[in-house]
Structure 1
Amino acid sequence: MILPSIITAQKLTYKDASLPIEERVSDLLSRMTVEEKVGQMLMFGAHRITKKGADGALVITQWGKPHLSNSLGGIKFPFQEESPEESARLNNELQKKIIESNRFGIPTLFVGEAYNGVDAKGCTVFGRPLNLATSWNLELTHDVWSVIGRESRLRGWHMVHSPVGDIARDPRFGRMSEGYGEDTYLTTEMLVAAVKGVQGSYDKSAPNTTHIGAVVKHFAGYSQVVGGRNFAAVEVSPRVLRDELLPPFKAAVQRGHALAIMPSHGDINGVASHGNPWLLTELLRNQWGFNGYVVSDAYDVGRLNFLMKVAENKEEAVKLGLKAGVDLDLYSEDVYVLLPEMVKKDPSLLPYIDRAAASMLRTKFILGLFENPYIDANETKKEVRSKANLSLAKKMDEESLILLKNENDILPLSKKTPRKIALIGPLLGEETVNTFNKIAGKKVSFVAEKGYELTNRNTKHPELTPRNDKALDKMVNLAKDADLSILFVGGDRFTAQEATFFKWVIGDRATIEPVGEQNELIQRVKALGKPVIVVLKHRRTLAFNIINENADAVLDCWEMTEFGDELIAKALFGEFSPSGKLPVTVPRTIGQIPYHYSMKEISFFKDYLFLESGPLYPFGFGLSYTKFAYSEPKLSSDVLERDGIIKVSVNVTNTGKVTAKEVVQMYIKDMFGSVLRPDKELKGFEKIELKPNETKTVEFTIRPEMLVFTGIEMKPVLEAGDYEVMIGTSSQEYKKTSFRLK
């Protein structure tokens, strides 16, 4: 056996950082055995490979030792529960051990997740990705994900299985807050900003040594599962797939240069995504030019056999996944590990193994791991949870809050008016009353009562807590003695979570109304004849009709950062005006689903018996503490040439008394098409800040490619005809003009 030290001493092409990456990949691959190549195609959970010993030293498990001789494609969640500095130290030691244990000194990718910031101890806690969508702020999204990428790298990680490009249109689905809402355009722009942020705006011009790689998921159509149930089948038309579900992923690849893709648990037209060569090779690689790696979702190559039932045995599952284009097998210890023996019997598998191993090596070269495999723990201590990062978390909260209702301008509350306020409800936090006391000042006093938990907080199978009349009475009595009440209601993290493969882990719901006695609580408090303000916290869209009807004001928060209570209090007491907008349509009932603003026009033709028309709140909606006046939109031309552009502009004026931000939204409607077209589609937005009486001109550019859709022959078409342009404050409140495409 040739020792790594001997190989290092040789002048090898793959060791020369001045050479193009493809040359280095080709050279290294040519030197590797099949076993070493397959090693690059395996990823195990960190607990299978390593742990921290009682004395703090790194320990390699007996199970893990043999795997280190072939390096590994990746290790998931190494030292997730350690502090950032300790994680950096241990990951440095682990990487050193791996590099010294294999012939070529190949490093391993250390991988995590990022839903509320880096999913690891001691990192900055951000809000859910959907909260970034409520901000409608692309620069903020980029900056938040840049911090995620930097903090990941500083603890010794190199990739995260994030961000999510799924279009979330079914609130029964427990994972809807992982993405950016119901709209294709908003999701696309948010996703590109996130990918560029987490990857440090990597543009292939130099190795990425400061940030990490993005694993964009779940490709594709994952959140369209029937019944909103994780792992269920996906039923979408080919046209919806092409026009609405694929564009975010295409943009992540071509504009964001995402380094990796994770396929969906589900299927497309009956073909399992993990065994779909059209999806993972023809479309992703050949048409879009993707040059990264494809990693399975947990165990999903094996599931081609034992769940999807499209492979009769493990070997057939391996062939399906490998030939489709899955490069890296996540967690499964009994699928891709079969390849060294399988290729002896079937040499035709070798080119696919070479493709997969090359994709993994390429990523490691791109991330600079052959030259810079270790982390400076001093930098970790200095940068992780820095003042700037924590300040950014607060900014995310400030920009994501949505004011849905404000009867008689009850908000903002005055700090100068002496009053007693009751803070009540099952979503009340432990430190909420202390935080509110600090923000409101001495003239406002607070009494607080949580009452009860919504659930038993069982992570695997949460159950609703039994009715508690004493708790209800206590909250109502507290409200009775107060001048007004602020109710903290909605849903906790246990009422909307990922339903994992293990049957006892449940997270999807069959209903979308607020659970428990929350409706009764607000009705009883409202009956006291005093003002009621609702702070709505949740991870899924809720049909909160009764809460909305009885509230004088509703502040929609979704799931905020660790500073959520502080920014909620500042918003309620007028330190800033809420500027968030809904990235989803809020239905009145589950019976309206599917229900998103961009459905085909005929879907809105008829209403339901005994139900008020329209949504509870429309996509793009959000109030402010001021008013904005829009001028009539002006077009630079009323004719769009096929190789030209049109500029459309509108003047927006702050007619109120406070400085505030507004999201100016542009929608376009194709008036007639060869196939049924959406009622309208978001095609542009800009968030602006205006002082009282200030006017700003907002200009959008309309390009022909924005009007392309999948035509009657299932090919992209650009059809001449009339188009309507709508610019305004939501998908239902706007001013319009029109142009004609020649």
Structure 2
Amino acid sequence: MKKILFLSLTLTIAMSSYGQSNSKIYKDASVSIEKRIDALLPLMSLEEKVAQMRIFHANIGIGADKDGHLKLSDNVVEKLKLGIAGIKNPGESLSPLESAKLNNELQKYIIEHNRWGIPALFVTESYNGVDAEGNTVFGRPITSAASFDPSLVNRLWDVVGREARLRGMHMCHSPEADIVRDPRFGRMSEAFGEDTYLTTQMVTSAIKGVQGNYDGLGNGTHIGAVVKHFAGYGQVLGGTNFAAVEISPRTLIDEIYPPFEAAVKEARTLGVMASHADINGVASHGNPALINGVLKNQWGFNGYVVSDANDIARLYSFMKVAESKEAAAIMGLTAGMDVDLYSEDAYGLLPEIVKTHPEIVPMIDEATRRVLRTKFILGLFDNPYIDIDTVEKSVRSKSSLALAQEADLGSIILLKNENNTLPLAKGSKKKIALLGPRVTEKTKAAFESISGNKNTFVAETGFKLTNEKRGIPSLSTDNEAGIDKLIEIANTSDVVVLFLGGDGFTSKEAFFGSALGDRATIDPVGPQDELMTKIKALGKPTIVVLQHRRTLSINTISEQADAILDGWDLSEFGDNSMAKVIFGEVSPSGKSPVTIPRSIGQLPFHYSGKEINNKKEYLFMEKGPLYPFGYGLSYSSFKYANLKLSNPTMSSKTNIDVSVEVTNTGTLKAKEVVQLYIKDQVGSVLRPDKELKGFDKIELNPGETKTVTFSITPKMLEFTGISMDKILESGNYTVMIGTSSNEGLKGEFRLNK
């Protein structure tokens, strides 16, 4: 009996010593991250590990009292006893300084109230900059995609990463690597457009920016990216949120995967969010071939995979692919989902599920390891707090605000400029009417500040597009009086600038039951075409400024306007930026990141579709797009000449260079986006009509010529063959360099394997 007691005591002492030793190791910043995880993980109970696999929203009970100090609900206090993976949007409605103070208090509370002092991840999103009060407001991602300038996007997201970290945030559920090709989809503007190559360049630039080129994570200056939605989310049927995704495996591999793969391998994203949708009947959150197979095993992703809101539980309640809540939790875990966002009916059940399914414990350990690794990479165990003295002088700095306008000016697209209507002269002493539903209370002052005091301005909205109800808005009615007022003002003016398009009420995320944001038509909403027609009938020079979050079939506007500037969704300085372009301070240089159709009936309609898609026209409608992908005019003009290939042939181990001379033949200094497209003339499977494979934004003085050179690599020519393996085929290829996907100089080369 004494021997047994002695052995038990010895084992207890040994385990205690082991725990103390491990406790010292995981707290030691000089030890490698993997060794620190190895030391911490065995100390944790099952319940503590599961807590590291859950994120809840701050709106369930995290706030500030009247003195600005942390205030927690009983529900939150209970949730934090075991620690937590993360919390979404704490302090989002506070100023950056107030948020930093609150989040320091919140982090301190979390560290002090779980056994091992494990910090939490505070998570935000970024569609117009950091989605929280008091930060620099940038244009939407699809707006910056129109810049065709990855370095600009990188600098923009660098500011996002810095401003988010200064608020006390650590991760953002952004950027989106989705390919968006259906403008009915209300979330279109959150992504970077329809093209695989452009999206890849933009999303990798954004991730590198927001993560501080990865170095900014551990030193506390930047936050981690959670690229989303893996995979195929933008391809939802009918353009409706939560709808099914039916997409060929070949298209998935060749066109949808590449931005995500580059996000993992090149940009080193810390996180990935799974897609709401399925892929050909297999729910993404329950798809082990997708999450474990492709993402983790094939691409080597070692960050964490988080669910979209409540989507693991929805494997049971919505997708109907699991028989019970418990089965849904097991399905998500088995697929490789590491973190459960929001739900109380999924991973919260795991401790009880383990009693009958002990085989899932290693999966729980692996998921916990991935979350802990992220926290160690971010340096949260060693430096969990924000230096509040740096917040106010660094958020919304002069350089950040200037960058927001620079991004605007590089992204505005000139779609039409008949008879050189633009730019307007600052000293022309004209009466200029700023009219339409997208005019704001700041528009007139912005134009006055740019134009000076010789031109005079009058501004009037006339009517709203909707009743602006947040959940399910209704189109405005009784607009006649507003239209009449706009016509009256226009009739007494020399020039009319119409502000048309859409807004955050006519294009937005559609939630379950509580909100709609997708549309069955892509025509401009309300009486905008009617207004365009009536203004045109006055015979005044009419300029249209488009502001919108989805592609619109602007046939009437395109036909009748004298000039059209497309800004998508610009920064907080959007009116100022538009005025600068209208009055010629800057020549527009944006290019369309999407194909602009004439009708919704043309969908699906992207420039890189199969060649056979273009063989037949529709009755009673002009063939082709209204404006092609990559299209955008300038106040200057450019001539392309002398396209040259360094070699007429290439092999699987060699590159060839293709060059072209670009000359500014106009009278103004301007930028041009030189675009490279390649077409596989004959393939063993049907190939895209053409594919963007390179671009370069250059600036030229009047009369200046630059030679632009692109290197064509074998990797650019790979595709998924009949056997569903990546292959490189011998054959002839057409290369085109030009100003859009529809216009350029052509050459030819042959690949001999």
- The alignment's TM-score, normalised by the length of structure 1, stands at 0.98
Determine the structure 1 residue equivalent to 2:181.
169
Mapped partners of 1:252, 1:649: distance in 2: 29
- State the distance in 2 between where 1:162 and 1:562 align: 20
CA distance in structure 1 between the aligned counterparts of 2:543 and 2:604, rounded to whole angstroms = 30
For residues 66-113 of structure 1, the C-alpha deviation after alignment (integer angstroms, 9 at most, x for no partner) is 222221000000010011001001100110111011111100000011
Q: Which residue of 2 aligns with 1:721?
A: 731
2:447 to 410, 416, 436: 436
2:309, 2:715 → 1: CA distance?
Answer: 37
* Contact 2:214 2:268 (8 Å CA) reproduced: yes
| CA–CA distance in structure 2, aligned partners of residues 208 and 701 of structure 1 | 36
**What is the SS of the residue equivalent to 1:171?**
coil
Q: Deviations over 1:512-553 (max 9, x none)?
A: 000111111111111111111000110000001001111000
Q: What letter matches 2:710 in structure 1?
A: F
Is 1:356 aligned to 2:370, yes or no? Answer: no
Partner of 1:299: 310
Alpha carbons 2:68, 2:98 under 8 Å: kept: no
Q: Does the alignment pair 1:511 with 2:509? A: no
Establish whether residue 480 from structure 1 lines up as the match of residue 505 from structure 2: no
- 1:119 Cα offset (Å): 0.3
The answer as to 2:582 corresponding to 1:589 is no
Give distance in 2, aligned partners of 1:527 and 1:591.
29
Which residue of structure 2 aligns with residue 232 of structure 1? 243
- 1:462-481 matches, within 5 Å, as 462-481=473-492
Please state if 1:186 is matched with 2:198: yes
Measured in 2, the distance between the counterparts of 1:707 and 1:670 equals 8
3-state SS of the aligned residue for 1:666?
Answer: strand
Structure 2: which amino acid aligns with 1:676? L
Aligned residue among 75, 86, 91 for 1:79: 91
CA deviation profile, 1:285-317 (whole Å, cap 9, x unmatched): 100000000000000001000100001110000
Q: How many residues align?
A: 738
**Aligned pairs for 1:314-393 within 5 A:** 314-393=325-404
Q: Which residue of 2 aligns with 1:42?
A: 54
> How far apart, CA to CA, are the structure 2 residues paired with 1:48 and 1:455?
31
SS at match of 2:517: coil
Select which of 408, 431, 452 maps to 1:397.
408
- Residue 131 of structure 1 aligns to which amino acid in structure 2? T
More deviation in 630-639 or 597-606? Answer: 630-639
- What are structure 1's unaligned runs of at least 5 residues? none
Distance 1:323 1:207 in 2: 30
Matched, 1:738 2:752: no
2:123 touches 2:169 (CA, 8 Å); kept in 1? yes
Are positions 1:635 and 2:645 aligned together?
yes
1:276 to 287, 290, 309: 287
Does the alignment pair 1:671 with 2:684?
A: no
Matched with 2:105 is 93
SS in 2 for 1:662: strand
Contact 1:650 1:697 in 2 (8 A): yes
The more displaced of 48-57 and 241-250 is: 48-57
Instruction: Show the counterpart of 2:427.
Output: 416
Q: Please state how far the C-alpha of 1:203 moved relative to its aligned partner.
A: 6.0
Q: Distance in 2 between matches of 1:158 and 1:291?
A: 17
The residue number in structure 1 matching 2:437 is 426
C-alpha separation between the residues in 1 aligned to 2:364 and 2:144? 39
Q: Is the 1:7–1:104 contact (alpha carbons within 8 Å) kept by the matching residues of 2?
A: no
Q: CA deviation at 1:9?
A: 9.6
Q: Deviations over 1:142-168 (max 9, x none)?
A: 011111011110000000000000001
Q: 1:7·1:103 contact (CA, 8 Å) conserved in 2?
A: no
What percent identity do the matched residue pairs reach? 59
Contact 2:22 2:40 in 1 (8 A): no
CA distance in 1, matches of 2:288, 2:21: 41
Matched, 1:263 2:263: no
What is the aligned partner in structure 1 of residue 43 from structure 2? Answer: 31
Question: Is the 2:271–2:306 Cα contact (8 Å) retained in structure 1?
Answer: yes
| Counterpart for residue 113 of structure 1 | 125
Which one of the candidate residues 190, 201, 205 is aligned to 2:213? Answer: 201
CA contact (8 A) 2:306 2:340 kept: yes
Q: 2: distance between equivalents of 1:8 and 1:364?
A: 21
Secondary structure of the equivalent of 2:642? coil
The CA distance in 2 between the partners of 1:322 and 1:155, in whole Å, is 32
Amino acid at match of 1:227: G
Amino acid at match of 2:571: T
* Pick aligned residue for 1:563 from 559, 565, 573: 573
Quick one: which amino acid aligns to residue 410 of structure 2? E
- Give distance in 2, aligned partners of 1:600 and 1:469: 45
Query: Which deviates more from structure 2 when the two are superposed, residues 139-148 or residues 436-445?
Result: 436-445
Q: Is the 8 A contact 1:428 1:488 kept in 2?
A: yes
1:585 partner amino acid: T
Letter in 2 for 1:419: K
Whole-angstrom CA distance in 2 between matches of 1:297 and 1:127:
24
Contact 1:724 1:739 in 2 (8 A): yes
Q: Could you tell me which residue of structure 1 aligns to residue 261 of structure 2?
A: 250
Q: Secondary structure at the match of 1:30?
A: helix
Give the letter for the 2:195 counterpart: D
The 1-side partners of 2:459 and 2:170 are apart by: 44
CA deviation after TM superposition for structure 1 residue 10, in Å? 7.7
Gaps of 5+ in 2: 1-11
**Distance in 1 (alpha carbons) for counterparts of 2:63 and 2:455:** 51
In 2, Cα distance between equivalents of 1:602 and 1:425 = 41
Aligned residue type for 1:202: Y
Whether 1:550 and 2:560 are equivalent positions in the alignment is yes
Cα displacement (A) at 1:30: 1.3
- Cα distance in 1 for residues equivalent to 2:110 and 2:432: 59
Aligned to 1:12: 24
AA matched with 1:728: G
Using the alignment, how far apart are the partners of 2:288 and 2:138 within structure 1? 36
Is the 8 Å Cα contact of residues 130 and 164 (structure 2) preserved in structure 1? yes
Q: Distance in 2 between matches of 1:721 and 1:343?
A: 56
**Does the 8 A contact of 1:628 with 1:655 survive in 2?**
yes
SS of the residue corresponding to residue 707 of structure 2 reads strand
Q: Which residue of 2 aligns with 1:132?
A: 144
In 1, distance between residues paired with 2:218 and 2:35?
15
1:53 and 1:59 in contact (8 A); partners too: yes
Asked whether the 8 Å contact 2:19–2:43 carries over to 1, the reply is no
CA displacement at 1:8 relative to structure 2: 8.5
**Per-residue deviation at 1:47?**
2.5
**Aligned equivalents of 1:340, 1:494: Cα separation in 2:** 42
Provide the C-alpha distance between the structure 1 equivalents of 2:514 and 2:385, rounded to a whole number of angstroms: 39
Distance in 2, Cα, partners of 1:609 & 1:452? 35
Residue 157 (structure 1) aligned with residue 169 (structure 2): yes
Deviation of residue 623 (structure 1)? 0.2
Secondary structure at 1:619's aligned position in 2? coil
Residue 288, structure 1, aligned to residue 299, structure 2 = yes
Match of 2:79 among 67, 71, 86: 67
Alpha-carbon distance change, 95 to 203 in structure 1, aligned in 2, over 3 angstroms: closer
Distance 1:567 1:7 in 2: 60
The answer to whether the Cα contact below 8 Å between 1:467 and 1:517 also exists between their aligned partners in 2 is: no
Partners of 1:215 and 1:150 in 2: how far apart?
A: 16
**Displacement of 1:54 after TM fit?**
2.4
The alignment partner of 1:106 has SS state of: coil
